[in-house]
Structure 1
Amino acid sequence: MTKRSYAIPPGGLPPQSDRPAGPTGGARFTEAYALIPRATMRDIVTSALPYWDDARAWIIARPMTGFAETFAQYIVELSPGGGSEWPEPDPEAEGAIFMVDGAMTLSIGDEDYVMEPGSFAYLPPGADYSLHNHAGPEARFHWIRKAYEPVEGLPPPDFFLSHDDDVDPVEMPETDGRWATTRFVDPEDLRHDMHVTIVTIQPGAVIPFAETHVMEHGLYVLEGRGVYYLNGDWVEVEAGDFMWLRAFCPQCCYAAGDGPFRYLLYKDVNRHPRLRIR
């Protein structure tokens, strides 16, 4: 198994000797994208959650009128002994969990599964599950939630577990493996209305055109450094930074560090656009 390290929020507070970033750096919120740097994910911006014990969450994306619409994304931190018997309050919501630090137990049905860094779980709508940190030190994971969009004649997806090391990255065409995606969900399975993947870009490699598409994105940098083009701006990002891209935001990037540039990517897929505002 590959020994990997995934970025986590720093917590705490910066020292009084620090000064806020100027107009060319730090957090940004624009009509097309948002940037939440790792340095801003501090104790004072965490949220407590109902029916969760000894837990806190950095909520880094949520549906908003006129901006992102399809998903919420959290980084959850469980203290030793912490967890929840009722994590998901919405019976119509599906979820994806990606573990980045420590260990926790996911219980679903009569089965218990230990999740460690790199573990991925898909949780279908209506799943009856619980999460607990029985292992000791803090456990940290990404939790992506989306209102599932059912399709007549297609059953909802099944629960499944995977791991970063167990999925062979798919090389993008004509890139010699310098740009690849680790696809936890089968792209051909139309039961799924969201994909969560890990994109890996090797040092010096690029996404060589400004993608402009209907899918909205959440991108959390797990490892390395890169420079992202976002709706006319070039933005430097590094491990622990989060980007939130509205549908049709022009985007491309290149890896800027000495090692791989890897990020966890959410996107909505496989459904007709809604024609009426609900």
Structure 2
Amino acid sequence: MVSTTPVRELLVGAAACGVERGEAELLLMHALGVDRAWLFAHATDPVDVSTAQAFEALLQRRAQGEPVAYMLGRRGFWNLDLEVTPATLIPRPETERLVELALQRMPEGVPVQVADLGTGSGAIALALASERPQARVTAVDLSMQALQVARRNAVAHDLPQVEFLHGDWYQPLAGRTFDLIVSNPPYIERDDIHVRQGDLRFEPLDALVSGADGLDAIRTLIAGAARHLRDGGWLLFEHGWNQGEAARRLLVDAGFADAFTARDLEARERVSGARRTAASISGTL
């Protein structure tokens, strides 16, 4: 059965549900099984009733706050199209700043050893591996469900040089050292109201919240880093817009050198890091 409603009008009607045009286009492409070029080339084509109903159901889910990425099961990050599920955080553009800074510390053609702690969907680890094929990347996560997603993403993008380990932060890395450790840890304060708003309501809470001040996971990262970094190796991690000063102080207090904070495209402090030297204080994890 064919609906009298064309593609264009379905998209216009999505605004009545409070869904942004760009998100509505993604949802309609998903319902129709087409790409963006088809969507615009066939703007006046009528849509069959079952597809129109499926699209309407997607709009209602989005209007209730469910993230588009979870509805589609996909999210673009860096140069990758990644599978995501409610077991993983949704990769976000600001995390690409961490990837940029990590790549600056990974010479091309050199088999550097990298660890990505709390890998989730594998976004950071796989982005680094895609840009530096000779690097050996070890991705760690406490969630077995997240690791399963990350492994599937590695297979989909033919990145066999990425190793996946199950465990809590440095626990599965005993006796191993790296040239670079990266992480997008949980860093939201426990009482922050934002975790009960928007997309965050649907994402795994233990991958978002980290203690009263949001810094517990960052403290763990810094405490164990010196033991797992080679001399001159870097620790880089994402954090909240208002945590740069605290992150730098923790790094300096732990004996790291060249502590810095970089801003994202919206000029917010987003990534901090520092370098291990022979004088760095040994970690305790």
**Larger RCO: 1 or 2 (CA < 8 Å, sep 6+):** 1
User: Which structure has the larger Rg?
Assistant: 2
Q: TM-score scaled to structure 1, two decimals?
A: 0.25
Is the strand fraction higher in 1 or 2? Answer: 1
Q: TM-score scaled to structure 2, two decimals?
A: 0.24
